């Protein structure tokens, strides 16, 4: 069934409104840990008195947390802080009540370490025009544009004739994505763009009426079509950064192609089914809309604007720095590297640092999730970091001894797998190989390496020479092709159980409470592509 073309024609549009998408870009890459860090800083401000002095203090704390460029805020009426507030409000983390600011349920969940990646994904999958943001004075997107931009693009990525999009191609969505009925028009433009092997310099040729289609309320007669197109491309690039930050899609290693993340198919498909279900928006009722949008895991936000738990300035700095740290590093229970940094670089007392971070450590893995998924699909550029992170995940979160062996040089022919796992209680070890690939199929070369190198050579490492080999495991960003049948063939030929698990599943398993090491070990022997449900 073909969608109906329902774009806004020049004769129908109002020059006072923008006819294309727009997104705030104070924070260009909205990783969950970064949003949580900013919310944590903001949570320490006097939000009932959003004065210029408070805004300037907020900007200074952002700078101290490496979230904002060095800026002395020489302008006493600097609007820098307001751009961050606008961005948090646009994705449903904050709302306004007169001159006061309050966190939505989604914003509170980020601060409280509650499944941050799921929060961000939910907010983007429900991001819509019209909204409080799209009706803003400096945005003014045409109110007749009714679309969920992230769901719309994800639906395109699932289309058999599209499969991937570049920033240049997303520009067609930015300009012509006025509602879900514009799908065929945009698919046609993308395919025509590809057919001619076109580049960015040709993009303007595919815009029907450049001065009208690219027009914005701020455009002047001096603005030519090329200048307006650059702005549309910048919006497309911001959109890409948002989407990748949520792990719903990723940039294919070695290309500029944006591809859907298959491991999130369920949540994406559900959103596509609801692509035309919008939160009602009425100008002047902005608080009602934003609270509904930000209620993320509940049908309605019925909370009262109660007093927030406040930290002193030192505690706030420690907490903010910790958000960044756990967003990029898989920490152990002690987090000694972070404690050392806080005491040596900032001069904080060790006991104070421990008091602040100890309640946060148990949930810290939820913030590393998006980073781990990014490493798992980065190809050669992230392969070694993915190996190290996977070994650390087994060791510190699953309680299974893991030694990184991928960098150990072997004399003579052959080599070693990336990781050796050990289980002393069972007297067994396992060979684990990681692949920073979004679509790993266990190709014949890797199959041959396992049979002729990794299995015969593992005992030479001396790590588990007195252990029997329990199983073979592949860990990758994504799994596909005929990997299931290849695992069974590998089992039959080698005599050892062979399984595979994707990065998302592994990190979800690491967050299941009270899993026993031996239980996990036995589940890894099941000769299949493993799912989270297999471990419950």
Q: Calculate mean pLDDT across residues 431-440.
A: 95
pLDDT at 453: 92
Per-residue DSSP letters for 254-310? TS--EEE-GGGHHHHHHHHHTTT------TT-HHHHHHHHTTTTSS------PPPP-
Q: Calculate mean pLDDT across residues 401-412.
A: 84
Ramachandran bin of 9, using left for φ above 0, alpha for ψ from -120 to 50, beta for the remaining angles: beta
User: Does 12 fall in a domain?
Assistant: no
Q: In the structure, what pLDDT confidence band is assigned to residue 66 with cuts at 50, 70 and 90?
A: low
Q: Which helix (H) or strand (E) holds 475?
A: strand 468-476
pLDDT at 250: 94
Same domain for 356 and 431: no
Higher-pLDDT residue of 142 and 466 is 142
Ramachandran bin of 130, using left for φ above 0, alpha for ψ from -120 to 50, beta for the remaining angles: beta
Q: Calculate mean pLDDT across residues 139-157.
A: 96
pLDDT at 113: 77
pLDDT at 300: 64
User: Does 226 fall in a domain?
Assistant: yes
Closest C-alpha to 367, from 34, 38, 29, 28: 34
Whole-model pTM? 0.85
Same domain for 384 and 358: no
User: Does 424 fall in a domain?
Assistant: yes
Q: Calculate mean pLDDT across residues 437-446.
A: 95
Same domain for 232 and 278: yes
Same domain for 429 and 284: no
Domain end marker among 262, 293, 324: 293
Q: What is the pLDDT of residues 84-140, one digit of tens each?
A: 888 999 999 999 888 788 999 999 998 887 888 999 999 999 999 999 999 998 899
pLDDT at 152: 98
pLDDT at 508: 92
Strand 401-404 and strand 258-260: pairing?
unpaired
Same domain for 344 and 278: no
DSSP structure class, residue 382: G
Token pair listed for 438: 């979004």
pLDDT at 1: 37
Q: Calculate mean pLDDT across residues 21-50.
A: 84
Q: Calculate mean pLDDT across residues 450-454.
A: 94
Average pLDDT value for the chain: 87
Q: In the structure, what pLDDT confidence band is assigned to residue 269 with cuts at 50, 70 and 90?
A: very high
pLDDT of residue 229 exceeding 50, the answer is: yes
Q: In the structure, what pLDDT confidence band is assigned to residue 176 with cuts at 50, 70 and 90?
A: very high
Percent with pLDDT over 90 in the chain: 59
The SS3 of residue 432 is strand
pLDDT at 486: 97
pLDDT of residue 297 exceeding 70, the answer is: yes
Q: How far apart are CA 305 and CA 412, in angstroms?
A: 69
User: Does 516 fall in a domain?
Assistant: yes
pLDDT of residue 513 exceeding 90, the answer is: no
Q: How far apart are CA 107 and CA 39, in angstroms?
A: 7
Q: Within 10 A of 194 (CB to CB), how many other CB atoms are there? A: 13
pLDDT at 215: 84
pLDDT of residue 2 exceeding 50, the answer is: no
pLDDT at 54: 80
Same domain for 236 and 156: yes
Q: In the structure, what pLDDT confidence band is assigned to residue 75 with cuts at 50, 70 and 90?
A: very low
Domain end marker among 333, 367, 401: 367
Same domain for 337 and 215: no
Q: In the structure, what pLDDT confidence band is assigned to residue 404 with cuts at 50, 70 and 90?
A: very high
- Given a contact cutoff of 8 angstroms between Cβ atoms, the answer to whether 528 and 434 are in contact is no
pLDDT of residue 76 exceeding 70, the answer is: no
Domain that holds residue 325: 313-367
Q: Calculate mean pLDDT across residues 490-502.
A: 97
- Count up the domains in the chain and report the number: 3
pLDDT of residue 157 exceeding 60, the answer is: yes
Q: What is the pLDDT of residues 473-494, one digit of tens each?
A: 999 999 999 999 999 999 999 9
My answer on whether omega of the bond before 130 falls inside 30° of 0, hence cis, is yes
The SS3 of residue 365 is helix
pLDDT of residue 71 exceeding 80, the answer is: no
Higher-pLDDT residue of 352 and 304 is 352
Q: In the structure, what pLDDT confidence band is assigned to residue 372 with cuts at 50, 70 and 90?
A: very high
User: Does 25 fall in a domain?
Assistant: no
Same domain for 386 and 360: no
Please identify which residue in the block is written with the tokens 């900007």.
59
CATH number of the domain enclosing 416: 3.40.91.30
Same domain for 275 and 194: yes
User: Does 444 fall in a domain?
Assistant: yes
Same domain for 232 and 161: yes
Q: What is the pLDDT of residues 415-425, one digit of tens each?
A: 889 999 999 99
Q: Calculate mean pLDDT across residues 221-241.
A: 89
pLDDT of residue 205 exceeding 90, the answer is: yes
pLDDT at 390: 96
User: Does 16 fall in a domain?
Assistant: no
Q: How far apart are CA 162 and CA 158, in angstroms?
A: 7
Same domain for 398 and 283: no
pLDDT of residue 320 exceeding 90, the answer is: no
Strand 428-435 and strand 419-423: pairing?
antiparallel
Q: How far apart are CA 229 and CA 221, in angstroms?
A: 15
Higher-pLDDT residue of 461 and 489 is 489
Q: b/e string for 418-457 if b means 16 or more Cβ within 10 A?
A: bbbbbbeeeebbbbbbbbbbbbbbbeeebbebbeebbbeb
What does each C-alpha distance from 11 to 17, 44, 80, 144, 236 come to in angstroms? 13, 49, 37, 13, 25
Same domain for 151 and 282: yes
Q: How far apart are CA 54 and CA 81, in angstroms?
A: 9
pLDDT of residue 413 exceeding 70, the answer is: no
- Neighbouring residues of 165: CB distance < 8 A, sequence distance ≥ 6: 153, 156, 157, 173, 190, 257, 258
Q: Please state which of the ranges 41-50, 211-220, 518-527 shows the lowest mean pLDDT.
A: 41-50
User: Does 302 fall in a domain?
Assistant: no
pLDDT at 444: 95
Q: Calculate mean pLDDT across residues 498-522.
A: 94
């Amino acid at each position: 069934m073909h969608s109906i073309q329902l774009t806004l024609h020049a004769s129908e549009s109002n020059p006072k409104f923008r006819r294309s998408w727009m997104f705030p870009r104070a924070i260009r890459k909205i990783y969950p840990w970064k949003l949580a860090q900013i919310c944590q800083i903001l949570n320490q401000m006097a939000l009932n008195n959003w004065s210029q002095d408070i805004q300037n203090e907020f900007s200074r704390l952002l700078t101290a947390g490496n979230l904002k460029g060095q800026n002395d805020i020489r302008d006493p009426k600097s609007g820098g802080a307001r751009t961050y507030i606008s961005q948090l409000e646009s994705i449903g983390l904050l709302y306004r009540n007169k001159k006061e600011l309050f966190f939505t349920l989604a914003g509170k969940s980020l601060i409280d370490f509650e499944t941050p990646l799921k929060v961000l994904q939910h907010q983007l999958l429900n991001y819509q025009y019209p909204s409080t943001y799209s009706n803003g004075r400096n945005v003014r997107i045409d109110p007749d544009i009714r679309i969920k931009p992230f769901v719309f693009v994800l639906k395109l990525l699932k289309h058999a004739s599209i499969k991937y999009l570049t920033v240049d191609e997303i520009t067609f969505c930015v300009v012509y994505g006025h509602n879900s009925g514009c799908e065929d028009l945009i698919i046609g433009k993308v395919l025509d763009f590809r057919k001619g092997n076109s580049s960015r310099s040709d993009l303007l040729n595919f815009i029907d009426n450049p001065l009208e289609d690219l027009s914005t309320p701020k455009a002047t007669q001096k603005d030519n079509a090329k200048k307006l197109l650059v702005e549309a491309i910048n919006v497309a690039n911001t959109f890409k950064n948002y989407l990748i930050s949520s792990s719903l899609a990723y940039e294919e290693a070695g290309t500029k192609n944006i591809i859907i993340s298959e491991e999130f198919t369920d949540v994406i498909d559900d959103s596509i089914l609801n692509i035309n279900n919008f939160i009602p928006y009425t100008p002047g009722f902005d608080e009602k809309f934003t609270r509904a949008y930000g209620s993320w895991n509940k049908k309605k936000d019925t909370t009262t604007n109660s007093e927030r738990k406040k930290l002193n300035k030192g505690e706030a700095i420690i907490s903010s720095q910790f958000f960044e740290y756990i967003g990029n590093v898989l920490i152990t229970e002690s987090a000694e590297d972070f404690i050392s940094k806080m005491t040596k670089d900032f001069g904080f007392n060790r006991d104070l640092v421990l008091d602040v971070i100890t309640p946060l450590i148990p949930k810290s893995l939820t913030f590393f999730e998006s980073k781990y998924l990014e490493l798992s699909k980065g190809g050669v550029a992230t392969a070694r970091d993915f190996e190290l992170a996977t070994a650390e995940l087994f060791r510190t979160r699953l309680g299974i001894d893991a030694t990184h062996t991928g960098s150990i040089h072997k004399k003579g022919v052959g080599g070693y797998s990336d990781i050796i796992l050990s289980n002393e209680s069972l007297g067994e070890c396992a060979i684990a190989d990681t692949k920073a690939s979004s679509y790993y199929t266990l190709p014949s070369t890797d199959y041959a390496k396992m049979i002729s190198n990794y299995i015969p050579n593992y005992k030479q490492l001396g790590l588990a020479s007195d252990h029997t080999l329990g199983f073979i495991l592949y860990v990758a960003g994504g799994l596909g092709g005929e990997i299931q049948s290849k695992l069974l063939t590998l089992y039959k030929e080698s005599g050892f159980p062979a399984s595979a698990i994707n990065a998302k599943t592994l990190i979800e398993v690491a967050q299941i409470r009270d899993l026993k090491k031996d239980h996990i070990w036995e589940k890894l022997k099941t000769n299949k592509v493993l799912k989270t449900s297999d471990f419950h």
